[in-house]
Chain A
Amino acid sequence: MTGIRRFFARNWSILAVIAAWQAWVTIAELNSIVLPGPLPVARDIATNPGLYLANAAQTLAVSASGLVIGFALGILVAVLAWCSRLLSGMLTPIGLIFSSIPIVALIPILARILGYDISTVVAIVAVSAFFPTFVFAGAGLNDLPRGAPDLFAVFGASRIQRFYRLVLPSAVPNMMIALRLIVPESVLAAILAEFLMGRSGLGFLFREATGRFAMERALGTSLVAAVTAIICFFLAQRAERAVKARWS
């Protein structure tokens, strides 16, 4: 019983939104071309599971590979910058510049340079994942626990030992924050790139459906995209908390 109560305490607002959607469709007597209700949308998903699954899987795969590339490169460049003061001074402002601009604006440019291809979608996701990772990992590498550097100096640790045993581990919580931030961004970047280039994936499905006013399909795609992104986001949040609990 308490489990059910907990669920309602946390999710009443989501249920209220779905109820409001149904109420709106019913009261305003909207036809399904303007706005279908939750049931027809659910039916469209249930009757075409293959279509939705295939496109969702592709979007997810593209987001994941782009995210891994961008995340790894971000950490790598942050480590390189940590090694050299000049490099760090040169790269930090560029990292800041790119984190203060709307990265989605680069999607059309990248699409044009790299061509309309699935690898372009991966590259776009990687670029959007790279900058937050670089900025957060860089901040983490330079922010050491108080007293730790002295301890390492007293024990005569070499620079490499210091890096592996102290600097890198102390940056892990920050990297996890970056991960939580870039997960929803990556899914969004992938879907937007698919939407603009129109090849395959959820973004393409959405574009194709809105193009012929198939609102059930469009909303079904929205719903699948939203659920996919939300699951990824909560997994990333959980991972961040788990690491935080173990690490500090």
Chain B
Amino acid sequence: MRFARKASHALPGLLGVVAFLGAWQLIGVYRLAGFTWPPLTTVIAYLADPAHHTLLARAAAASFSSVGIGYGLGLLIGLAIAMLVRIIRPAREGIDQLVAVIHATPAIALAPVFMVILPRDAIPAAISALAVFYLVYVATTSGLESAHRAHQDLFSVLGASPFSRFARLELPAALPSIVSGLKLAVPVAFMGAIVGEWFGASRGLGLLMISGMQNFQIPMLWSAVLLATLTSLVAYGLMGLAERGVQQRYGQ
């Protein structure tokens, strides 16, 4: 019974996705958007063709390792700085301002600075890390404040040290917020890596997109975009599951 109800809830959504894919196919087959919009089947055929596997696999490996490194670095730096302003409170306002300014700055504006500091192939991971850092920092600082007043008072009465208060009360209370931030950071990490590759990386899906766009290699362009977006979608879904688990265990 429960399964049947779940299925009837998911049915319109499934219908929507099928309609979307069907529209993609029809527009492609009948050239409604010109010849630069390939049918879905053409893109799938391109992805499935073993002749392209080396190219796609190498590009995907480069891009996804940038995403992974950026995601990990952004998480670590975001957590570290959020905890630092928790300890040194007067610094918080200034750091918040700087973080907001960095976030509002278009990634492209930071590219020349990165070009000076880093080798070209490290730029995708750096831009990705910066974008992830912002979300993790905001999620952590707001999460650390979410511990209940009553619990705070209890810890004070029992004479908890600042460290044990942090480890046993504030951090667990912040976890749901941090994991939500990490879920939202998934597409952002991909965005950072792709944009970073546009500034002259030597390999990666972002590079395939550019060369596909400039040389009218339409199936290659769409395949590169589809690979990047599908991977982001799957990773986002997995983080959504993790988020649900954490909410049940630590949520209030």
Q: Which residues of chain A have a CB within 8 Å of any CB of chain B?
A: 9-14, 17, 30, 34-35, 85-86, 88-94, 97, 99-106, 108-109, 111-113, 184, 187-188, 191-192, 195-196, 203, 206, 210, 215, 218-219, 221-223, 225-226, 229-230, 232-234
**Given A14-B97, A188-B108, A225-B109, CB of A112 within 8 Å of CB of B190:** no
A90–B16 CB distance below 8 A: yes
Among candidates B90, B107, B213, residue contacting A196 with C-beta atoms closer than 8 Å: B213
Q: What B residues does A223 contact at CB under 8 A?
A: 109
- Kindly provide the distance from the CB of B118 to the nearest chain A CB, expressed in whole angstroms: 13
Size category of the binding interface on chain B? 35 or more
- Kindly provide the distance from the CB of A215 to the nearest chain B CB, expressed in whole angstroms: 7
Q: List 27 A-B contacts (CB under 8 A).
A: A10-B94, A11-B94, A34-B116, A89-B9, A89-B11, A90-B15, A92-B13, A93-B14, A93-B16, A102-B187, A102-B191, A102-B229, A105-B225, A108-B210, A113-B33, A191-B108, A192-B108, A195-B108, A196-B198, A206-B108, A210-B112, A210-B199, A215-B112, A218-B112, A222-B108, A222-B110, A225-B108
A104–B194 CB distance below 8 A: yes
A108–B106 CB distance below 8 A: no
Which chain B residues in 52-111 approach chain A with CB under 8 Å? 90, 93-95, 97-98, 100-101, 103-111
Among candidates A88, A100, A111, residue contacting B187 with C-beta atoms closer than 8 Å: A100
Q: How far is the CA of A215 from the CA of B112 in the complex (A)?
A: 8
Q: Which residues of chain B have a CB within 8 Å of any CB of chain A?
A: 9, 11-17, 19-20, 33-34, 36-37, 90, 93-95, 97-98, 100-101, 103-113, 115-116, 186-188, 190-191, 194-195, 198-199, 209-210, 212-213, 216, 218, 221-222, 225, 228-229, 232-233, 236-237
- Kindly provide the distance from the CB of B64 to the nearest chain A CB, expressed in whole angstroms: 12
Q: What A residues does B37 contact at CB under 8 A?
A: 113
A90–B198 CB distance below 8 A: no
B20–A184 CB distance below 8 A: no
B94–A104 CB distance below 8 A: no
A30 to chain B: closest residue by CB: B116
**Given A112-B221, A192-B195, CB of A187 within 8 Å of CB of B116:** no
Q: How far is the CA of A30 from the CA of B191 in the complex (A)?
A: 31
Q: What B residues does A203 contact at CB under 8 A?
A: 108
Q: Is the interface of B mostly helix, strand, loop or mixed?
A: helix
A103–B221 CB distance below 8 A: no
B106–A101 CB distance below 8 A: no
Q: What A residues does B236 contact at CB under 8 A?
A: 100-101
A231 to chain B: closest residue by CB: B104
Among candidates B93, B100, B198, residue contacting A192 with C-beta atoms closer than 8 Å: B198
Q: What A residues does B186 contact at CB under 8 A?
A: 100
